[in-house]
Chains A and B, each alone.
Chain A
Amino acid sequence: MFMFCVFAVTDLVIIGIFYAVYGTRRKYSEGTLLGVHLPQSAAESEEVTAFMARYCRNTKIFYSVNVVISTAICGFCFWYFSVFMIVWSVWLLEFCIGAMVLLYGTHRKLYDMKVEKGWIGSSGSRIMAVDTKAAVQSGRMGLSALWHLLFCALILMPCIDADIRHYLVMSDDGWIFPVTGILVSFTFGILHTVILRMRNKVYSEDSDLNVEINRMQKNVWSWALVGSSLFNAAAYLVVVSGLDADGEIGAGMLGVYCIMETIPGFFMIGGFFYMRSRKEKLLRKNDRPLYIDDDVYWKNGWYSNPNDRRLMVQDWACSWNYTTNMARPAGKIFMFLALLFVAACLVWGCVQIWKIDFVPIELNISGKQVVITSGYSDYGIACDDITGVELLDSLPDDDYRKINGGEDQHKMLGRFKGENTGKCRMYLYTGYTPVLEIMTGDGPVYVNSKDPQETEEWMREISVNIAESS
């Protein structure tokens, strides 16, 4: 049920963001309609109005259908999670590709209409415009990206404490928090640097207006990123300060950490909406707009301009995004590698989860070691480390919390921690008995088979092996 809710909400958020960014680009603004430069008279003509009405209808149908499909797919969460992940991955690909085809396909049709009708700039443009005043002031826009180094240093600061250092070294997963924190701050810092180095956009013949809009955007972005990085560092410091005597993080502290790590999301989204609203207000004062018609380079949806030396350019569809200049070989390679990476991640993730669901749990004794294999991980126990073996009617009654692994209605795999049992490992088919308990120095290991006789056989083999070892 939990995963159903998580993915249902996630899907709605994905669809909502896509719709907000790509699905609502229907208004004529800054001399363009759907990314195509048109005179206002053309944008208001009957033909274009009817064309846009059809596009609006198709967009609404596409997004509505995907809301229904994505919610229905989440029903697979109640069956095998791996099956759900495969179906969900296919849906995600369909949705992303479909949204892009819908947008860029319509953009291309509108561009073709513009060329056919001979509207302004339809012969293409090779003009680059630069505002010298905005360029001079580039270095004075926004906060310095060096603030992120300070926040990285704040995350490293607790390492001064010997107890913290000991915890980070000895703990299996305690290093995750500081490493994640530093990576996040580092990523914000790189994003911050890239944004400050973005070329200024020319909106008007009025240089002061260009400076004001570009400065506002860079200021908002830099404040949002610095604030996000600060909360990221603060979240880690709160968690470290809340470590108990056993070096554990309580649920309450974890909750505070999650809340604090969510705040950057609000900064970014809030910053985006503020920037958009402020930019619209400023552009209303623009009585000398400057439009550079470069539609010919965008006609296929992606940017392809052999005369432009830049590798990355701002996307017309979403100013947050950058796209590659596909006229450059490096652009093609980068795009190919990025797509390959995404595809590889999706395939790898699905394979790993498939293994968890369908690779059987097995126990073998090899030499002086008991080896438990499963779709999650393999675990070897030296016979000398085994202090006891017992066949239980069921898993001891306790409140188990998963530390690392997989848990659903079919299996419990990985490392867990019980209130009374303490740290333990489980390789269990849920609902199957008996359960073999192997006591070790690192805590108990619980393992079973779907066949009770096989579990009993494991018990006998291990007992014989222990007796022979002693």
Chain B
Amino acid sequence: MILKIDMAGSIPIYVQLRNEIVKGIGRGELAAGENLPTVRQLASELGVNTMTVSKAYQLLKTEGFIETDRRKGAVVSSIPDRGTAGDAAAERYMDRLGDELELLSAEAKLRGLKREDFLKLCEDAFAEMGV
């Protein structure tokens, strides 16, 4: 997949990296078991410090999106079964998602967006996800 990073944006680069990889997994551009570049390779390609890439990978590993192995490097994790959706991590995620959606909904309404249009946008974004 193609990662696009805004080098002068307000969002930290490691967060952008994390977000791009998550989106890539969501869209199916990064398959389960697929290798990601090593920290050194990705840092060299982007022209950033290895610590920045390392931080992004640590975050993704903590969230369960990737696994790291000293020999294989970073590998995209398998998607967890629906059966595990009720576990503590998933519950925390649902709470966070709810908070973020509340903010997005408030901002959308204040900017005059209709409910149907907002839901259509959400539907289109979710439809892009191949997973």
Contacts and interface: CB of A to CB of B under 8 A. Distances in A.
A290 to B, nearest CB: 6
A136 B41 contact: yes
B2 A202 contact: yes
Given A127-B6, A129-B3, 9 more contacts: A131-B2, A132-B2, A132-B30, A133-B1, A135-B45, A199-B47, A202-B2, A307-B7, A308-B7
Contact of B45 (A139, A200, A307): A200
A138 interface: yes
B9 A130 contact: no
Given A136-B37, A207-B2, A307-B7, A128 B47 contact: yes
Interface of B: 1-9, 24, 30, 35-37, 41-42, 44-49
Chain A: interface size category:
20 to 34
A197 interface: yes
B44 A197 contact: yes
Contacts of B8: 126, 307
Contact of A132 (B1, B5, B6, B47): B1
B42 A130 contact: yes
Residue from A126, A132, A135, A290 with most neighbouring chain B CB atoms (10 Å): A132
Contacts, number: 66
* Max chain A Cβ within 10 angstroms of own Cβ: one of B3, B4, B42, B47: B47
22 contacts: A126-B7, A126-B9, A128-B4, A128-B7, A128-B46, A128-B47, A129-B3, A130-B3, A131-B1, A131-B2, A132-B24, A132-B36, A132-B42, A136-B35, A136-B37, A138-B45, A199-B44, A202-B2, A307-B8, A308-B7, A308-B47, A309-B49
A138 B41 contact: yes
Contacts of B45: 130, 135, 138, 199-200
Interface of A: 126-133, 135-136, 138-139, 197, 199-200, 202, 205, 207, 290, 307-310
Nearest to A133: B1
Contacts of A132: 1-3, 24, 30, 36-37, 42
Contacts of B3: 129-132
A130 B20 CA distance: 11
Contact of A127 (B4, B35, B36, B47): B4
Contacts of B1: 131-133, 207
Contacts of A135: 37, 41-42, 45
Contacts of A133: 1
B5 A309 contact: no
A292 to B, nearest CB: 8
A139 B47 CA distance: 17
A17 B36 CA distance: 41
A205 B24 CA distance: 13
B7 to A, nearest CB: 4
A127 B5 CA distance: 5
B33 to A, nearest CB: 13
Contacts of A307: 7-8
Contact of A309 (B2, B6, B41, B47): B47
A139 B41 CA distance: 9
